[in-house]
């Protein structure tokens, strides 16, 4: 009994599945055969927004122009922008090197032969104060010169400064009683003004002369040691006052619209210490570094706390205000080294290669001096793909190699192709190339007319 009941239920399910499948199949057949329903707001004669290929006359477009469908543009990532005039202030960034101000560098040189007696704790790099003693030395002439100076100081004032008696003395006698003569003699032997005043005050002859710092600064070089003998002209010390320093910056000529003028302000930064200084352009040096291909610009600035040390590298920013000029993004230009090309959007998916000339560059933009007009749309992203398509197009049409402009019709002409076809002519030492024989014939009739045009 149970087996019979199971069999009946199975047959009922199988019949139901068959009937359901038949109903679904008939429904799909009706949907396929149903007529297309159009929206009443859309006319059957409506045309798409884009123009069909057959409606576009590409014969007037320059060689190398290619068409890329909107779908492919989206896949490749082609973006366009408008050529526009821009103005404003931007910063030219350069690397600078700290150098001592040459007007604040002091070289202490021996005025006569002698021997070093003592040296003090003033190694290279030490900060010394003005009139601080650096070392002492000895010269046999010091004692006799000091005695002569003291003898003049001890003579009666009327004998030393009486103008009437001075006129009666011979030149040699006048020199022996002139205090300034002995002061000059002591200075020429290396004695400082401080020690000469001390000698006049104490009237005590010293066997050693002190080398003193002429200004507060850092010792850049130290060439003395106790007991060392030196000759006249020997450099004892070299000091630099670093309270005001120079910055020697390297600038590429293409980065600037003109040489920085003296008095221009600039910012100097120490990247590792996050400190910023204000500097002033002092001079554009008549130097061009052949290795780095840069110009040298000298800036001056105060150095509080002696933070800037010689030979340190710093970042320099020059503010530059530009007049209105056509500019485009740098990435929009394909620079082969011989020519610079951008692709102009001619609408409907056509892109025309256009040779341009550039001016100064600032940030991520570059000035256009020739080849584009304000308001034109150009490719700013994905231009490498368009360039490869353009080259293939030119190769297929035989436009390979250098291009020249037909002086009659203005078309771009392949120099190689025109030469092989014999479509070239010379006028006043210059060769012109033509796209067709008719242009060549017109040129040969009146060459001056087309050359002037």
Res 388: pLDDT = 78
The answer to whether residue 349 sits within a structural domain is no
Structural domain including 123 reads 102-240
Work out the average pLDDT over 315-344: 85
Flag whether pLDDT at 165 surpasses 50: no
The answer to whether residue 32 sits within a structural domain is no
Q: Tell which phi-psi region holds residue 263, choosing left (phi > 0), alpha (psi between -120 and 50) or beta.
A: left
Res 176: pLDDT = 46
pTM: 0.53
Instruction: Provide the CATH number for the domain around residue 151.
Output: 2.40.50.100
Work out the average pLDDT over 391-399: 60
**Residue 448: CA count within 13 A, CB half-sphere:** 0
The answer to whether residue 221 sits within a structural domain is yes
Domain boundary among 295, 321, 347: 321
> In angstroms, how far apart are the furthest CA atoms of the chain?
169
Q: Residue 38 contacts by C-beta under 8 Å, 6 or more apart in sequence?
A: 44
User: Which of 168, 170, 166 shows the shortest CA–CA distance to 157?
Assistant: 166
Tell me the C-alpha to C-alpha distance, in Å, between residue 248 and each of 48, 100, 273, 307, 312: 63, 10, 20, 16, 11
186 and 234 together in one domain = yes
Flag whether pLDDT at 274 surpasses 50: yes
Res 222: pLDDT = 94
User: Residues, the chain, total?
Assistant: 453
Q: Tell me the C-alpha distance between 64 and 350, whole Å.
A: 10
230 and 112 together in one domain = yes
The answer to whether residue 192 sits within a structural domain is yes
Which one has a higher pLDDT value, 234 or 208?
A: 234
Domain boundary among 240, 272, 303: 240
The pLDDT tens digits of the residues spanning 211-258 come to: 999 999 999 999 999 999 999 889 999 999 999 999 999 887 766 555
The answer to whether residue 139 sits within a structural domain is yes
% of the chain residues with pLDDT over 90: 19
Q: Tell which phi-psi region holds residue 401, choosing left (phi > 0), alpha (psi between -120 and 50) or beta.
A: left
231 and 250 together in one domain = no
Flag whether pLDDT at 372 surpasses 80: yes
The per-residue pLDDT of the chain, averaged, comes to: 77
Res 47: pLDDT = 37
User: Which of 100, 104, 111 shows the shortest CA–CA distance to 216?
Assistant: 104
Most confident of 39-48, 140-149, 174-183: 140-149
Flag whether pLDDT at 121 surpasses 70: yes
Q: Tell me the C-alpha distance between 184 and 181, whole Å.
A: 5
Res 13: pLDDT = 64
236 and 266 together in one domain = no
260 and 134 together in one domain = no
Domain boundary among 225, 240, 255: 240
Q: Residue 278 contacts by C-beta under 8 Å, 6 or more apart in sequence?
A: 265, 266, 267, 268, 301
212 and 283 together in one domain = no
Res 184: pLDDT = 75
The pLDDT tens digits of the residues spanning 8-38 come to: 666 666 566 555 555 555 554 444 343 443 3
Instruction: Name the domain count of the chain.
Output: 2
* Residue appearing with tokens 């008549």: 286
The answer to whether residue 305 sits within a structural domain is yes
Res 395: pLDDT = 61
């Amino acid at each position: 009994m149970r087996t019979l009941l199971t069999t009946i239920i199975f047959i009922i399910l199988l019949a139901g599945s068959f009937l359901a499948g038949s109903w679904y199949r008939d429904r799909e057949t009706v949907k396929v055969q149903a007529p297309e329903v159009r929206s009443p707001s859309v006319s059957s004669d409506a045309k798409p927004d884009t123009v069909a290929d057959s409606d576009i006359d590409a014969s007037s477009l320059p060689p190398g122009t290619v068409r890329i469908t909107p779908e492919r543009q989206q896949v490749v990532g082609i973006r366009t922008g408008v050529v526009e005039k821009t103005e404003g202030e931007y910063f030219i960034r350069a690397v600078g090197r700290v150098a001592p101000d040459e007007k604040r560098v002091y070289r202490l040189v021996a005025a006569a032969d002698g021997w070093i007696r003592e040296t003090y704790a003033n190694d290279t790099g030490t900060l010394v104060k003005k009139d601080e003693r650096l070392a002492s030395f000895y010269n046999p002439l010091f004692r006799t010169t000091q005695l002569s100076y003291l003898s003049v100081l001890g003579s009666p004032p009327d004998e030393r400064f009486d103008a009437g008696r001075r006129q009666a003395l011979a030149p040699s006698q006048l020199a022996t009683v002139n205090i300034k003569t002995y002061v000059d003699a002591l200075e020429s032997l290396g004695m400082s003004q401080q020690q000469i005043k001390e000698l006049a005050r104490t009237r005590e002859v010293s066997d050693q002369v002190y080398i003193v710092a002429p200004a507060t600064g850092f010792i850049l070089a130290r060439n003395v040691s106790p007991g060392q003998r030196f000759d006249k002209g020997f450099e004892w010390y070299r000091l630099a006052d670093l309270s005001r320093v120079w910055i020697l910056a390297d600038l590429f000529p293409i980065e600037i619209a003109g040489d920085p003028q003296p008095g221009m302000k600039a910012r100097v930064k120490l990247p590792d210490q996050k400190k910023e200084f204000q500097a002033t352009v002092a001079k554009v040096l008549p130097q061009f570094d052949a290795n780095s291909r840069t110009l040298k610009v000298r800036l001056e600035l105060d150095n509080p706390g002696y933070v800037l040390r010689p030979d340190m590298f710093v970042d320099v920013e020059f503010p530059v205000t530009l007049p209105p000029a056509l500019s485009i993004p740098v990435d929009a230009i394909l620079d082969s080294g011989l020519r610079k090309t951008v692709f102009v959007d001619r609408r409907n998916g056509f892109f025309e290669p256009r040779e341009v000339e550039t001016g100064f560059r600032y940030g991520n933009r570059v000035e256009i001096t020739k080849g584009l007009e304000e308001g034109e749309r150009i490719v700013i992203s994905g231009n490498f793909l368009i360039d490869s398509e353009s080259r293939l197009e030119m190769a297929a049409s035989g436009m390979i190699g250098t291009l020249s402009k037909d002086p009659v019709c203005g078309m771009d002409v392949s120099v190689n192709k025109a030469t092989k076809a014999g479509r070239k002519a010379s006028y006043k030492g210059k060769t012109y190339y033509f796209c067709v024989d008719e242009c060549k014939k017109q040129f040969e009739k009146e060459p001056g007319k087309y050359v002037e045009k």
